[in-house]
Amino acid sequence: MATTDDSFDGITEHCDDCETDTLHEVSVQIKTESLKEENSEFSREPYRVAECQRCGERSSQRMNNA
């Protein structure tokens, strides 16, 4: 589970590469999932992207699984 810390730069989360809780920069990105150009605007989905500020490992997770 993610927890906030006293800084404004990120969230403390567990990093599998560092094997400890580290500061992460977290953002939401809209990604197009369809490879077809026709109607690709209907295949955009929000993803939560977290990047470890210690080792640089990035992970993304689809926010809705409709």
- Once rounded to an integer, what is the mean pLDDT over residues 4-25? 81
Q: What burial class does residue 60 get, using C-beta atoms within 10 Å of its C-beta: 0-12 exposed, 13-18 middle, 19+ buried? A: middle
* DSSP 8-state code for residue 64: -
Calculate the CA dihedral of residues 3, 57, 52, 33 and round it to 10 degrees: -60
Longest dimension (CA), the chain: 46
The tens digit of pLDDT for each residue in 27-66 reads 999 998 888 878 777 888 999 999 999 999 999 999 986 5
